[in-house]
Amino acid sequence: MREDESVPPRSRQAARLRPLLTAAALATVCLITAGCGDDGTGRAEPRPGTAAPSGAPSSAPAGTASASKSPSPAPTSGKPLPRGPLTGRTVVIDPGHNPRNRDHTREINSQVDIGTGRKECDTTGTATDAGYPEARFTLDVSRRLRTLLEAEGAKVVLTQDDDRPFGPCIDERARIGNEAGADAVVSVHADGSAVGNRGFHMILPAAVRGGAADTAEIVAASRDLGERIAGNFVRVTGSAPSNYVGGNTGLDTREDLGGLNLSTVPKVFIECGNMRDPKDAALLTSADWRQKAALGIAEGIGSYLKR
């Protein structure tokens, strides 16, 4: 579930996939635009009127919170990185939410500036009906993704590694990628929508300018990154694009997410599946499938960075 889904999203554009630049990606674009694999594993993202996320935080209290008073981002594994095709590249992985956010509802409900307005610091995320939390899913996939990227020589930073009491807030999540000078940032999520809503989708930044937000320099690069991840995700996992977001393209452009608005480096969100749909939940709770999800994302990032 994305960072601030408790606030109804504003304008959403269904984006059409441009042809991807690599031969492997080109082969997968046809799958996405044709809505291939309707029985594939997907994910979904809650929309107004859909099932509410588990443990959603209460309304925000008066006052504001500073996201700068929190611990530093999680470092890489600490082991010397092998030389590989991604040597010299920096990737920031943003595991959505935090397993302990639900114990800090006052803090995560405090408002932060996202450039075009104010939003909650963070949310608790959703969970499967059996109680498997989105925050645990995002951490697992992000750690697997880190291992894969480091094996290719990339420097990887996690915005959190279950090493802090809550958060980080959405503005700090953006700032971590910016300050790292990341070549790519991917925020990992899963959805909490209605039963029957299935299929993954990428969330891409819209052209936004206001306050501290100005995405003009990252819109095109972020779209390229998102398209490449989408193509590789289809190929590796067999998942289909969302059947209820993005017009069957697997892409959704948003202007109301602080994690994208405040980014100055290429960044996308990926919603990996709908935790409230039984078929998707069975995939999201499978360690084997989570490894495939991490691999699909890693290969998409690699395709983007090697272009």
In sequence order, what are the residues at sequence separation of 6 or more whose Cβ sits closer than 8 angstroms to the Cβ of residue 77? 146, 147, 150
pLDDT of residue 59: 31
User: Looking at the domain assignment, is residue 53 inside a domain?
Assistant: no
What are the contacts of 131-134 at 24+ separation with CB within 8 A?
132/275, 132/281, 132/284, 132/285, 133/54, 133/97, 133/99, 134/1, 134/53, 134/96, 134/97, 134/189, 134/190, 134/192, 134/275
Catalytic residue among 107, 150, 271, 299: 271
4-25 CB burial, b ≥16 within 10 A, e <16 = bbbbebeebeebebeebebeeb
We report the CATH number of the domain holding residue 112 as 3.40.630.40
For residue 79, tell me if it sits in a domain: no
Position 128 scores a pLDDT of 98
Reply yes or no on whether the pLDDT at 130 is more than 50.
yes
Answer whether residue 58 is part of any domain. Answer: no
Q: How many domains does the chain have?
A: 1
Write out pLDDT tens, residues 241-250. Answer: 999 899 999 9
pLDDT of residue 69: 41
Instruction: Label residue 150 by pLDDT band (50, 70, 90).
Output: very high
- Give the residues across from 64 on adjacent strands: 111
Is 182 within a domain? yes
Is residue 171 a part of any domain in this protein? yes
Is residue 258 within 8 A of residue 211, CB to CB? The reply is no
Domain assignment present for residue 68? The answer is no
Taking residues 257-281, what's their average pLDDT? Answer: 97
pLDDT digits (tens, 9 = 90+) for 198-250: 999 999 999 999 999 999 999 999 999 999 999 999 999 999 999 989 999 99
The SS3 of residue 244 is: coil
How confident is the model over 177-196, as pLDDT tens digits? 999 999 999 999 999 999 99
In order of 13, 45, 138, 227, the CA distances from 270 in angstroms are 16, 10, 10, 11
* Domain of 182, in residue numbers: 12-46+84-305
pLDDT reading at 197 higher than 90: yes
Specify whether 271 is catalytic: yes
Q: In this predicted structure, what is the pLDDT of residue 80? A: 86
Assess whether pLDDT exceeds 60 at residue 143: yes
Q: Classify residue 241: in a domain, yes or no.
A: yes
The CA distance from 50 to 48, in Å, is 6
Better-predicted residue by pLDDT, 43 or 271: 271
Domain assignment present for residue 75? The answer is no
Q: What is the pLDDT of residues 61-72, one digit of tens each?
A: 333 333 334 444
pLDDT (tens digit per residue) in 73-105: 555 556 788 999 999 999 999 999 999 999 999
